[in-house]
Amino acid sequence: MRSHGRASVSSKNPRAFGICDRCGFLYNHDRLQWQFDYAGSGLINKRILICNPCNDTPQAQLRSIVVPSDPIPIQNPRIQDYAGAETDDLTISAPTVYDPITGIPIPSTTNIITQDGQNITTQVIGAPTGLDANAVMPLYNNVQYGTVLPIISIFSNSTTIITVTCSSPHGLSTNDQVAIEGATSPIADGFYSVTVISATAFKFTVIPPVKSQSFLTPTTRVITVLVGLPYNYAQIPQTGITEPGANYSPNINWVNNAGKIIPWFNNYPHVIPWVE
């Protein structure tokens, strides 16, 4: 609260008197002043006469925001090749070549590509390093993650497909991600990109095929998650084996497009050796 004290009036001429438009006290007219404030690019006169105690400092927040000019571009910039740095391409296997002077091995630079010119990338098998179902991102934009799904069944059909059924709509879309823990077998535990079957059912893929069985237990927990994906991937590039040192029997063989056998050995739970 301002303390004005007694107004000083010394002239006998009524025209020399004035009233402060803010506090209403009587002053000599020459002691009153115009109130200014910011508007637009500068100060404006608000056309009110006020005394010195009522004179407010112009509010800087009312000033126009002046955006500075763009910085001068950097000459000869060196932009990171993110696509090349984020993609782990497969190369042709060949004997190691060593530099004749330094003896440093020279890696092969011949990439394996498909008929349409796409590089073939490696697919990781096993639990993604560093992922923890208890430390997922809880909120991204307006989507809530870490939501527990109402699961009533998790079963396999003697293939690599595991189907999950919910008691109410799960709200997922194809390529959305879930984390599963507490299943009857560690082969179903992990992080997966799902394929939606219906409003209450979805499926995901594991390696290797498993016999028909139920994976649901009283402590099984399935939650929605959002984890980062490698460059140019739409799904988590990992399915299946999540138990280090797990032993699966019998040995399982895959045949690639060229007819070559790729065996799964019990003593290599996280590696598929390539057999020529």
> What is the tens place of the pLDDT at every residue in 45-59?
999 999 999 999 998
Question: What's the whole-number mean pLDDT along residues 194-211?
Answer: 88
Question: Which residue segments constitute the domains of the chain, with CATH numbers given?
Answer: 14-62 (no CATH), 83-122 (no CATH), 133-243 (2.40.30.180), 244-276 (no CATH)
Question: What's the whole-number mean pLDDT along residues 174-185?
Answer: 90
- Picking from 116-120, 143-147, 230-234, which range would have the lowest pLDDT averaged per residue? 116-120
Q: Could you write out the three-class secondary structure of 61-124?
A: HHECCCCCCCCCCCCCCCCCCHHHHHCCECECCCCCEECCCCCCEECCCCECECCCCCECECCC
Does residue 185 have a pLDDT over 90? no
Q: Provide the pLDDT for residue 241.
A: 42
pTM of the model: 0.50
Provide the token pair at 174.
């194809």
Q: With pLDDT > 90 as the criterion, what percentage of the chain qualifies? A: 27
Q: Which of 5-9, 60-64, 236-240 has the highest mean pLDDT?
A: 60-64
- Picking from 33-42, 79-88, 164-173, which range would have the lowest pLDDT averaged per residue? 79-88
Question: What's the whole-number mean pLDDT along residues 244-256?
Answer: 44
- Residue 242's pLDDT band (boundaries 50, 70, 90)? very low
Q: Provide the pLDDT for residue 188.
A: 84
Q: Specify the higher pLDDT residue, 237 or 178.
A: 178
Q: Provide the pLDDT for residue 245.
A: 41
Provide the token pair at 237.
């590039």
By CB neighbour count within 10 A (0-12 exposed, 13-18 middle, 19+ buried), where does 58 fall? middle
By CB neighbour count within 10 A (0-12 exposed, 13-18 middle, 19+ buried), where does 154 fall? buried
Beta bridge partners, 214, equal: 155
Q: Provide the pLDDT for residue 48.
A: 92
Q: Provide the pLDDT for residue 89.
A: 61
Pairing of strands 33-39, 42-50: antiparallel
Q: Provide the pLDDT for residue 270.
A: 41
Q: Which of 80-84, 138-142, 265-269 has the highest mean pLDDT?
A: 138-142
23 and 32 Cβ atoms separated by less than 8 Å: no
- Residue 130's pLDDT band (boundaries 50, 70, 90)? low
> What is the tens place of the pLDDT at every residue in 203-241?
998 766 788 999 999 999 999 998 877 766 778 765 444
- Rounded CA-CA distance 111/53 in Å is 80
- Exposure string over 88-105, b if 16+ CB within 10 A, otherwise e: eeeeeeeeeeeeeeeeee
